């Protein structure tokens, strides 16, 4: 891991940019010198790790005493995409605008993204846990499909917070039955891009007995800010 920049914010949070091979990442660590639990904060749909909503959540969690890391996994941010992937994204956008079925297109896009992203996140986790000031346990927050794969394949993840969950590939819906770590699922009731019933079915499928569902009115980007506080309390229960 190579650190490329660092900045101390007014609230004492230290922000460091890093690269790990081809993987670019950002690490937020709290002002306290004590070893901090780590939260992996993932995004999807090609968004960069610098997305404003993700940065706000990361800074909030760091202010609560967590180290938070996000990376641009394959296909996200400035990472190169293949022509075939760009065409699939275009096909998905066109089908959604036209109100056509999107399941097959979605599977062909998101399934391979999960397969590529999960190993990169595990490599990142290995490197992060060698840094001074970062200790266990580890939490996960964000992209549901990737989080399910990591929660099943990575025993160091002690709790997971997921968003949406309407469109999750079939493979991860099956894997959800193997998730044993505590889960918090956030659902926007009127999310135009994530069918509500599918999200509810996914919540029912999670194998863990420690699972909580928070549903709020509004569209995909309308999650109330108080959910950040509730997510903080969720991670406090399981990571501290």
Q: Comparing C-alpha atoms, which of 98, 43, 52 is closest to residue 72?
A: 43
Is 137 within 8 Å of 168 (Cβ atoms)? no
In this model, does residue 94 exceed pLDDT 80? yes
CA within 13 Å, CB half, 32 = 12
DSSP state of 177: G
State residue 45's pLDDT score. 63
Mean pLDDT rounded to a whole number for the chain: 91
Give me the numbers of helices (H) and strands (E) for the chain, helices first please. Answer: 7, 9
Structure tokens at 78: 């400035």
Higher pLDDT, 180 or 106: 180
Residue 47 predicted with pLDDT over 80: no
> The whole model's pTM is what?
0.93
**Over residues 128-142, mean pLDDT:** 92
Q: Tell me the C-alpha distance between 141 and 192, whole Å.
A: 21
């Amino acid at each position: 891991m190579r650190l490329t920049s660092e900045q101390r914010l007014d609230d004492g949070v230290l922000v460091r940019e890093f690269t790990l091979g081809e993987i670019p990442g950002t690490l937020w660590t709290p002002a306290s010198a004590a070893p901090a639990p780590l939260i992996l904060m993932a995004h999807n749909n090609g968004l960069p790790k610098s997305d404003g909503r993700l940065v706000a959540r990361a800074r909030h969690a760091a202010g609560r005493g967590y180290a938070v890391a996000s990376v641009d996994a394959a296909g996200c941010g400035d990472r190169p995409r293949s022509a075939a992937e760009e065409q699939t994204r275009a096909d998905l956008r066109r089908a959604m605008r036209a109100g056509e079925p999107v399941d097959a297109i979605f599977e062909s896009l998101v399934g391979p993204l999960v397969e590529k992203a999960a190993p990169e996140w595990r490599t990142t986790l290995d490197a992060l846990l060698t840094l001074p000031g970062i200790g266990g346990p580890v939490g996960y927050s964000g992209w549901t499909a990737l989080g399910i794969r990591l929660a099943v394949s990575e025993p160091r993840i002690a709790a997971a917070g997921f968003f949406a969950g309407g469109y999750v590939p079939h493979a991860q819906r099956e894997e959800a039955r193997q998730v044993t770590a505590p889960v918090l699922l956030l659902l926007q009731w009127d999310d135009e891009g994530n069918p509500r019933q599918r999200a509810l079915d996914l919540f029912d499928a999670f194998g863990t007995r420690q699972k909580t569902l928070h549903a709020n009115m509004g569209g995909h980007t309308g999650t109330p800010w108080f959910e950040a506080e509730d997510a903080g309390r969720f991670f406090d229960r399981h990571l501290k």
